[in-house]
Amino acid sequence: MPIRAAAWHRALVVVLLGFASGLPLALTGQAMQAWLSMEGLDVATIGFLSLVGLPYTFKFLWAPLMDRFDLPWLGRRRGWLVLTQLLLAAALFVLAGTSPQGATQAFALMAVAVAFISASQDVVIDAYRTDLLPAAERGIGASLNIAGYRGAMILSGGIALIWTDAQQGGGWSWPEVYRFMAGLMVAAAVLSAAVLPKLKVAPAPQSVPRNDLIGFAAVVTAVAVGYLVTDRLVVPAVRAAMAPWWSGSPLPVALQGRWADLVALLVGIAITLPLAAFAARRAKFETLLSGLASYFSQRGAVAFLVLIVLYKLGDAFAGSLLTPFLLKAMAYSPAEVGVVNKVLGLWLTIAGALIGGALMLKLGLWRSLMLFGVLQLASNMVFWWLAVGAKGTLGALTIPAFDWVFVQLSAPTLVDGALLLAVTAENLSGGMGTAAFVAFLMSLTNQRFTATQFALLSAFASIGRVWVGPLAGVLAESIGWPAFFIVSTIAAAPALALLWWLRSSVLALEAAPEESR
Both 257 and 291 in a single domain? no
Q: In this predicted model, what pLDDT tens digit does every residue of 469-495 receive, in sequence order?
A: 667 777 777 788 899 889 888 888 999
User: Which phi and psi angles does 407 have, rounded to 5°?
Assistant: -155, 145
Both 55 and 162 in a single domain? yes
Both 425 and 293 in a single domain? yes
Both 384 and 426 in a single domain? yes
CB distance 440 to 322 below 8 Å: no
Both 322 and 364 in a single domain? yes
> What are residue 416's DSSP bridge partners?
396
If you compute the radius of gyration of the chain from its CA atoms, what whole number of angstroms results?
22
What's the CA gap between 317 and 330, in Å, rounded? 18
Both 270 and 135 in a single domain? no
Q: In this predicted model, what pLDDT tens digit does every residue of 317-354 receive, in sequence order?
A: 777 778 788 887 888 877 777 777 666 776 787 788 88
Both 308 and 444 in a single domain? yes
What's the CA gap between 384 and 375, in Å, rounded? 15
Q: What is the pLDDT of residue 273?
A: 79
Asked if residue 53 belongs to a domain, the reply is: yes
Both 192 and 244 in a single domain? no
Q: Answer whether residue 402 shows pLDDT above 70.
A: no
Asked if residue 366 belongs to a domain, the reply is: yes
Q: What is the pLDDT of residue 258?
A: 67
Q: Answer whether residue 501 shows pLDDT above 90.
A: yes
Q: Answer whether residue 117 shows pLDDT above 90.
A: yes
Both 439 and 424 in a single domain? yes
- Which residue has better confidence, 254 or 144? 144
Q: Answer whether residue 138 shows pLDDT above 50.
A: yes
**3-class secondary structure per residue, 289-349:** HHHHHHHHCCCCHHHHHHHHHHHCHHHHHHHCCHHHHHHHHCCCCHHHHHHHHHHHHHHHH
Both 350 and 442 in a single domain? yes
Q: Answer whether residue 367 shows pLDDT above 80.
A: yes
Section 500-505 average pLDDT? 91
Q: What is the pLDDT of residue 255?
A: 64
Residues 6+ apart with CB under 8 A from 331: none
Sign for the CA dihedral angle at 479, 480, 482, 487 comes to positive
CB distance 18 to 122 below 8 Å: no
Q: Which of 252, 283, 314 is the last residue of a domain?
A: 283
CATH number at residue 111: 1.20.1250.20
CB distance 437 to 285 below 8 Å: no
| % the chain with pLDDT above 70 | 87
Q: Which of 236, 262, 283 is the last residue of a domain?
A: 283
Mean pLDDT of the chain: 81
Q: What is the pLDDT of residue 89?
A: 95
Both 439 and 355 in a single domain? yes
Q: What is the pLDDT of residue 469?
A: 64
Q: Which of 12-26, 183-197, 282-296, 400-414 has the lowest mean pLDDT?
A: 400-414
Helices 493-501, 365-385: inter-axial angle, 10-degree rounding: 170
Asked if residue 14 belongs to a domain, the reply is: yes
Q: Which of 283, 306, 331 is the last residue of a domain?
A: 283
Q: Answer whether residue 195 shows pLDDT above 60.
A: yes
Asked if residue 248 belongs to a domain, the reply is: yes
**Could you count the other beta carbons within 10 Å of the beta carbon of residue 28?**
26
Cite the DSSP H helix spans in 386-449. Answer: 417-442
Q: In this predicted model, what pLDDT tens digit does every residue of 370-390 receive, in sequence order?
A: 999 999 898 888 889 998 888
Asked if residue 204 belongs to a domain, the reply is: no
Asked if residue 292 belongs to a domain, the reply is: yes
Determine the number of helices (DSSP H) and then strands (DSSP E) in the chain. Answer: 25, 4
Both 277 and 357 in a single domain? no
320, 360, 365, 356: which is closest to 474 by C-alpha? 320
Asked if residue 203 belongs to a domain, the reply is: no
Predicted confidence band of residue 189 (pLDDT cuts 50, 70, 90):
very high
What's the CA gap between 64 and 488, in Å, rounded? 34
Number of domains in the chain: 2
Q: What is the pLDDT of residue 103?
A: 78
Structural domain that includes position 288? 3-197+284-516
Asked if residue 202 belongs to a domain, the reply is: no
